[in-house]
Structure 1
Amino acid sequence: MTRNAIFWYDELPSPIGLLRLVADDHGLREIWFEHGRHQKSPQPGWRRAAEPLAQARQQLEEYFAGARQQFELSLHPHGTPFQQEVWWELARIPYGTTISYGELARRIGQPLAMRAVGAANGRNPLPIVLPCHRVIGSNGSLTGFGGGLPTKRYLLSMESRVAHGDLFSAERFRH
């Protein structure tokens, strides 16, 4: 992480567990799951503050309530140019739909780079906002996800219900 940069973090209770949000002066940098493969604790020098992350919190709460399908946030994920290309393409996957890793590789103009695309997808620092959960195996199977497969299944199911007009009470998903 950049020297002398200020990083803020806050935690958001959600239907999939506690989410840790991290931002810098340029925007939202990371979202970490409470449980999952890549857990992360606040780093020395990070400041806990709700205000710098208020817009991200609000939009994520709206997403989980079924009231938001696209995020309108300043984002600042850190990664290689290839990872960035994959991550920005994730944002173009429509809400409530899925694509395969092969399709994602084709969309970035590198149809033979499925494994590299999968690796970049797995390094996505902004899950949910850059919806890596919408990428599945070519046979339709749910493949790895940093928040765990039950979380991926939940997100896809929730989006499918909302996208197809299946009404549900947002209250039943709150802690």
Structure 2
Amino acid sequence: METAYIKTPLGIAGITGDENGVSVISVSDEGTISTEIPVFLQEAVQQLQEYFDSKRTAFTLKLNPKGTVFQHKVWESLKGVSFGKTRTYLEQSKILGDVKAIRAVAAANGKNLL
């Protein structure tokens, strides 16, 4: 795993991943901007920069988050949220087929590092 650091309107974004995809995107108030971006993170950096330049509303990144099977199911369902829209945990629970899973869905979203 390697991390590239880029300047964004939110602060310094750290993009961590490897050949299998991006695993973590974090933002900090401080940090050193990367002068060299690993080849497998260059597309992620480009797409994030396009997003912040208002030139992108959808991402086509290869993702590789670490989590449980349930967390992956919850995170996968987030891909169905359109640009500029939101979804409540209850709505997401219903989409996943178990309205009683609202707390588990909320917890899984809280563990989402992307």
TM-score (norm 2): 0.89
Q: How does 1:11-50 map to 2 (within 5 A)?
A: 11-34=5-28, 50=37
Any stretches of 5+ residues in structure 1 without a counterpart?
1-6, 36-47, 127-175
Which residue identity does 2:20 align to in structure 1? H
2:32 corresponds to which residue?
A: none
Q: How does 1:159-174 map to 2 (within 5 A)?
A: none
User: Residue 53 in 1 paired to residue 47 in 2?
Assistant: no
Whether contact under 8 Å (2:18, 2:41) holds in the other structure is no
- Which structure: greater strand fraction? 2
CA distance in 2 between partners of 1:90 and 1:99 (Å): 8
Whether contact under 8 Å (1:59, 1:68) holds in the other structure is yes
- Deviation of 1:49 after TM superposition, in Å, equals 5.1
2:63 corresponds to which residue?
A: 75
1:119 corresponds to which residue?
A: 107
Q: What stretches of structure 1 move > 3 A for 4+ residues in a row? A: none
Report % sequence identity.
37
Whether contact under 8 Å (1:8, 1:52) holds in the other structure is no
How many pairs are equivalent? 108
Which residue identity does 1:64 align to in structure 2? F
CA distance in 1 between partners of 2:111 and 2:4 (Å): 21
CA distance in 1 between partners of 2:68 and 2:57 (Å): 27
- Deviation of 1:70 after TM superposition, in Å, equals 0.8
CA distance in 1 between partners of 2:98 and 2:5 (Å): 37
- The Cα RMSD (Å) is 1.4
1:62 corresponds to which residue?
A: 50
Which residue identity does 2:45 align to in structure 1? R
TM-score (norm 1): 0.59
CA distance in 2 between partners of 1:88 and 1:49 (Å): 31
